A = this chain, B = another copy of it.
Amino acid sequence: MSLVVVGSMAFDAIETPFGKTDKILGGAATYISLASSYFVEPVKAISVVGNDFEQRDIAMLEDHGVDMEGVQVKKDEKSFFWSGRYHNDMNSRDTLVTELNVLGTFDPIVPDSYQDCSYLMLGNLSPDVQRLVVERLKNRPKLVVMDTMNFWMDVALDSLHDTLKLIDVLVINDEEARQLSGEYSLKKAAQKIMAMGPKYLVIKKGEHGALLFHQHEVFSAPGLPLEEVFDPTGAGDTFAGGFIGYLALTDDISFNNMKRAIIFGSALASFCVEKFGPEKLINLPQEEVDARIQQFVALSHFDLGVEA
C-alpha cells in the first residue's frame, strides 16, 4: 500500500569514540525512507532541502525507490545541518551545531500523486508542520504514525497535543514518554499518552528494545546485544521506517502484525548503528535482513514445555 514519509533531509556531522565524519547525508526522512524501501516501493517523500544537497544523494534515494516529487529544493538556501558528539556510552550526546536553514520556513507540499496515501509516517519535525501534512491530505490515511522529541515538548507542547489528536501510533523513547506523561512507570505513561489521542504507543528503549502498547495489551521486543555500536545516529528513524514499511507491505494493522513490524524495525535499526550515518542501509542484502530477523526470533523465543 502507498506510503508517504515526511521529515528532514539534511546533513549531519558526527563524532563518536570511533571517529568523526564531515557533513554526511542525514535527516529523519532519509533514514525512514531508506528503511521502508526494503518493504515498499515507491516511498513518497515530503521534505525540503537547500542548494547544497548532493545530486548523488538524490540519485541514491531514487535508486531505492524513493519518490522525490514532494521534496522541495530551495535554490537560495542551505539544507538543515546538525552536528553532535556521542559520549563513550553512546547513550547520550551533545549537540554541537544546529542550523535550521530551509527547515525554519518549511511549508510542506503534498503532490496530487501522494493523495492516495494509505500509510503516513510523520518523522520528527515541528508538530505544526506534521499537522499541516495531515490536513493537506484529502482523505485520512488508514494509519498515521508519528515521531517527535523532547524539544517539541519544551517549546511547542500545545501544538504537539493538537497533532497527537490526529494520529494513530506515536513512536518515542522512554525518556520522552516520561516527560510527555509526567509518569515514571512506562505502563502508567502509556495509559496517559494513549488518552491524548494515539491508539498505539511504541516506546523505544535503545539497547533494551521497544515496547508496544495498545489498550491493555503490551508487547516487549528485545534489543539485540551488539559487539559494538558504531554510530547511533538515525537508529530511531530507521526503526520507524522499518515499522511502517512492514505495515504498508502487509496492509495489516492488527496488534499481532504490529508486533512483527516492531521486530522488522528493530532488525533494521540494529544494522543502522553498525556504520556511520545511513551507510549500512544503502547496501543491505535481503539475506542479511532475513538472517537478522531469525536472530530476533532465537533471542526472544521460549516455550514453557510440558512441565508448566
- Taking Cβ atoms with an 8 Å cutoff, the residues of A that contact B are 88-90, 184-188, 190, 205, 207-209, 211, 217-223, 225-229, 249-250, 256-257, 259-260, 263, 293, 297-300, 302-305, 307-308
Q: Closest chain B residue to A91 by CB distance?
A: B184
Interface of chain A, main secondary structure: mixed
Which residues from B are CB-within-8-Å of A250?
A: 307
Structural contact, B299 and A219, CB atoms closer than 8 A: yes
Tally of this chain's copies: 2
Structural contact, B304 and A187, CB atoms closer than 8 A: no
A303, B223: Cα distance in complex, Å: 17
Give the 7 A-B residue pairs with the shortest CB-CB distance, closest first. A220-B222, A208-B208, A187-B225, A259-B302, A220-B299, A186-B225, A187-B227
A300, B211: Cα distance in complex, Å: 10
Which residues from B are CB-within-8-Å of A300?
A: 219-220, 222, 300, 302
Structural contact, A305 and B260, CB atoms closer than 8 A: yes
Q: Closest chain B residue to A304 by CB distance?
A: B260
Which residues from B are CB-within-8-Å of A305?
A: 256-257, 260
Q: Closest chain B residue to A89 by CB distance?
A: B184
Q: Closest chain B residue to A249 by CB distance?
A: B307
Structural contact, A260 and B184, CB atoms closer than 8 A: no
Structural contact, B225 and A218, CB atoms closer than 8 A: yes
A228, B187: Cα distance in complex, Å: 9
A256, B303: Cα distance in complex, Å: 8
A223, B219: Cα distance in complex, Å: 10
Return A201 CB to nearest CB of chain B, in Å: 11
Which residues from B are CB-within-8-Å of A299?
A: 218-220
